[in-house]
């Protein structure tokens, strides 16, 4: 249960089915006997779900800026992004602005509620002053939330995300020159004479290549966070499934599909040295108006047949997590069949 009071209420309602050995009223975990009726178990699960829903209404999940992730990370073990987001919502709901100073990775979200209340009472917590009227408190809380969003958008804009750059100008008050400075190339070309050796076409290609790289890195960074979060979610959910199965005398299941996906991630092709790319790869970013090419239009780029086939092999290998695929003719149908063969199917639960 989410709180000890809720656990004790559940104990009082179903005292006849409590396990006299395992149940401890000092904890929030309620232990029933093995032959507890289904309706009692369903009632307990329903109470727990209702309480979680009520708790989530206060604060909820609030996105983290990149700087906040750095301050409350690393996200390993019990310290995960979802808990940090929920804790941030708890602190903001309590009126605490500087929440990262109070965050404790060892505490649960519920335990952070007590910390948030204490932080709101103390002068050193950069709290939202309780003496302010409601409008002032809401304005300051919104300012703190907007600051996090602007910080997040700034990082994405630096990596070439045009929507993030537009958000900085429209919602965060950034001037055009400030946004332009964020988009400056990170290449180490300070020598003016070296700059002069580049033609206008080459400078345009270099700028587009940097933008493409920054955008890809930004998306990859988000994808890594998503993978970590969803893996933790899947592990917790499957643990709950097996816990319920054990209560009913059923054998625990094994999350085959989860292990296969994690294994696929561990066997992604190694990053090749960037020195292997030649002039033909650079040509993808050259805006050759005479040849009818458009900016970063890789699909319409006129390539040699051999180079195109080799690139298809690399893309397929990256997508499906194998690095020894040599037959570029293998299509989506065969890949789907291979995926279906890897899936674990349980008659009651479906594909796991």
DSSP-assigned letters across all residues of 309-345: HHHHHHHHHHHHT-S----TT--HHHHHHHHHHH--E
What is the residue whose two structure tokens read 């969003």? Answer: 149
Mean pLDDT of 154-162: 76
More confident residue, 9 or 319: 9
Question: How far, in Å, CA of 22 to CA of 32, rounded?
Answer: 8
| Tens-digit pLDDT profile for residues 229-249 | 888 888 888 888 888 888 888
Question: How far, in Å, CA of 164 to CA of 161, rounded?
Answer: 5
Tell me the residue length of the chain: 352
More confident residue, 254 or 197: 254
Any domain includes 222? yes
Question: How far, in Å, CA of 85 to CA of 13, rounded?
Answer: 34
Answer positive or negative: Cα dihedral of 288, 292, 296, 298. negative
Any domain includes 325? yes
Q: Whose CA is closest to 64, among 160, 147, 143?
A: 147
Which two tokens mark 333?
A: 């149908």
In this predicted structure, what is the pLDDT of residue 345?
Answer: 44
Mean pLDDT of 137-152: 57
In this predicted structure, what is the pLDDT of residue 277?
Answer: 52
Any domain includes 77? no
What is the four-CA torsion angle of 140, 146, 147, 151, rounded to 10 degrees?
A: 170
| CA 315 to centroid of chain Cα atoms | 24
Any domain includes 27? yes
Any domain includes 263? yes
Any domain includes 136? no
Question: How far, in Å, CA of 169 to CA of 164, rounded?
Answer: 9
Do residues 286 and 202 touch, judged by C-beta distance below 8 A? yes
Question: Given 56, 72, 87, which residue is the final one in a domain?
Answer: 56
Is residue 127 classed as helix, strand or coil in its secondary structure? strand
In the chain, % of residues over pLDDT 70: 59
Q: Where are the beta strands (DSSP E) in the chain?
A: 345-346, 350-351
What is the domain extent for residue 45?
Answer: 4-56
Mean pLDDT of 148-177: 77
- Count of structural domains, the chain: 2
Any domain includes 208? yes
Answer positive or negative: Cα dihedral of 328, 330, 336, 342. negative
Rounded to 5 degrees, φ, ψ at 345 are -120, 130
In this predicted structure, what is the pLDDT of residue 210?
Answer: 76
Answer positive or negative: Cα dihedral of 219, 222, 228, 230. negative
Out of 81-90, 175-184, 225-234, least confident range? 175-184
Any domain includes 163? no
Confidence at 290, pLDDT banded by 50, 70, 90: very low
């Amino acid at each position: 249960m989410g709180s000890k009071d809720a656990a004790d209420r559940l104990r009082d309602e179903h005292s006849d089915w409590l396990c006299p050995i395992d149940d401890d009223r000092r904890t929030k975990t309620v232990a029933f006997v093995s032959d507890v009726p289904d309706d009692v178990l369903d009632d307990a699960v329903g109470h727990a779900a209702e309480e979680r829903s009520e708790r989530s209404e206060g604060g909820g999940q609030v996105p983290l800026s990149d700087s906040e992730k750095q301050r409350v990370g690393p996200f390993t073990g019990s310290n995960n992004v979802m808990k940090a987001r929920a804790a941030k919502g708890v602190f903001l709901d309590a009126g605490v602005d500087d929440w990262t100073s109070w965050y404790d990775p060892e505490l649960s979200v519920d335990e952070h509620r007590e910390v948030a209340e204490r932080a709101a009472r103390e002068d050193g917590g950069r709290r939202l002053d309780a003496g302010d009227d409601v409008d002032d408190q809401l304005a300051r809380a919104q300012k703190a939330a907007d600051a996090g969003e602007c910080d997040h958008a700034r990082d994405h804009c630096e990596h070439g995300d045009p929507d993030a750059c537009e958000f900085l100008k429209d919602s965060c008050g950034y001037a055009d020159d400030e946004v332009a400075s964020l988009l400056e190339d990170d290449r180490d070309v300070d020598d003016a004479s070296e700059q002069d050796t580049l033609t206008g076409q080459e400078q345009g290609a270099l700028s587009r290549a940097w933008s493409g790289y920054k955008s890809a890195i930004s998306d990859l960074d988000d994808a890594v966070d998503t993978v970590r979060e969803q893996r933790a979610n899947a592990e917790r959910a499957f643990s709950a499934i097996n816990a319920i199965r054990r209560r009913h005398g059923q054998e625990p299941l094994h999350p085959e599909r989860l292990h296969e996906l994690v294994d696929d991630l561990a066997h992604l092709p190694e990053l090749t040295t960037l020195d292997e790319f030649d002039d033909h790869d650079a040509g993808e970013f050259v805006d050759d108006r005479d040849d009818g090419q458009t900016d970063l239009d890789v699909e319409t780029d006129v390539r040699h047949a051999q180079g195109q086939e080799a690139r298809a092999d690399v893309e397929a290998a990256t997508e499906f997590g194998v690095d020894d695929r040599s037959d570029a003719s293998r299509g989506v149908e065969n890949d789907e069949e291979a995926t279906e063969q890897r899936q674990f199917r349980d008659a009651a639960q479906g594909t796991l």
